[in-house]
Amino acid sequence: MREVVLDTETTGFDPKTGDRMVEIGAVELFNHMPTGRTYHQYINPERDVPEGAFQVHGLSQEFLRDYPVFKDVADAFLDFIGDAKLVIHNASFDVPFLNAELGWCNRPRIPMEQAVDTLLIARKKYPGAGNSLDALCRRFGIDNSHRTLHGALLDSEILAEVYLELIGGRQPGLVLGALESSTNDADPQETWRPRPRPEPLPSRLTPEEQAAHAAFVEALGDKALWSNSV
């Protein structure tokens, strides 16, 4: 199963009021494990970057000026994500920005059903607790000390680790596999029990070793523990 962990940085909070994306970062997972494939793109928002947004991600209008506008990278972005599930922390923020940018350049929009929102998973799993990306890193012991500013690719890489912990650890498939193997062709209520082998395994002792052991036990005498029946 292919998934893409994704994050964006923007000039503000709402594309309806003119805010734009300035960065996209994404990490590919296959069967819940990173493949090493990533997507990263800075974007010229064709507008100023407010000071509040700059304090969050450190991307200035001057820095972004020489990067492509979104319409010039839209096809490469869509090719990378394909029809994979998009793992996003607070999808209700990122997906509307993505869809606004896609709509402005006449590209197909992303259905909300394609997104897996790790914020909602965390809130359900840890109600009342802090569920920001930094708080979840502290909860799971994930090192994010290099995250001094928000960055789309870095945050995607960190979120990939957080996501794996939220769904059960590094190898959640092992649990699923065990459940499947215990229920296939059997009553799901039946508890697994070991069954005897059709034929006993042959002894690994040589005849000489067996004779030496028998002589040793006989030399212990009738009071030896091994001579008592159980």
pLDDT digits (tens, 9 = 90+) for 58-70: 999 999 999 999 9
CB-based burial label for 109 (10 Å; 0-12, 13-18, 19+): middle
The per-residue pLDDT for 168 is 87
147 vs 49, more confident: 49
Both tokens of residue 212?
């030496």
Give dist(CA 142, CA 136) in Å, integer. 8
3-state DSSP percent of the chain in helix, strand and coil, to 5: 45, 15, 40
Known catalytic membership, residue 89: no
The per-residue pLDDT for 203 is 63
| Position 43 pLDDT exceeds 80 | yes
The per-residue pLDDT for 178 is 39
- Kindly list the distances between the CA atom of residue 221 and the CA atoms of 209, 214, 227, in Å, as whole numbers in the listed order: 20, 12, 8
Percentage of the chain beyond pLDDT 70 is 77
Cβ atoms 74, 102 nearer than 8 A: yes
Lowest-confidence region among 35-44, 151-160, 174-183: 174-183
The per-residue pLDDT for 143 is 87
Please name the amino acid found at residue 92.
Answer: S
CB-based burial label for 65 (10 Å; 0-12, 13-18, 19+): exposed
Could you tell me the domains of the chain? 2-170 (3.30.420.10)
Beta-strand relationship, 21-30 and 33-42: antiparallel
- pLDDT bin (cut points 50, 70, 90) of residue 35 is very high
- pLDDT bin (cut points 50, 70, 90) of residue 149 is low
- pLDDT bin (cut points 50, 70, 90) of residue 145 is confident
Beta-strand relationship, 85-88 and 2-10: parallel
Both tokens of residue 151?
């960055």
pTM: 0.72
Give dist(CA 116, CA 118) in Å, integer. 6
- pLDDT bin (cut points 50, 70, 90) of residue 183 is very low
Give dist(CA 139, CA 136) in Å, integer. 5
Q: Which residue out of 40, 146, 150, 213 is catalytically annotated?
A: 150
The per-residue pLDDT for 226 is 54
Location of structure tokens 């890193």: 137
- pLDDT bin (cut points 50, 70, 90) of residue 215 is confident
| Position 18 pLDDT exceeds 50 | yes
Cβ atoms 103, 109 nearer than 8 A: yes
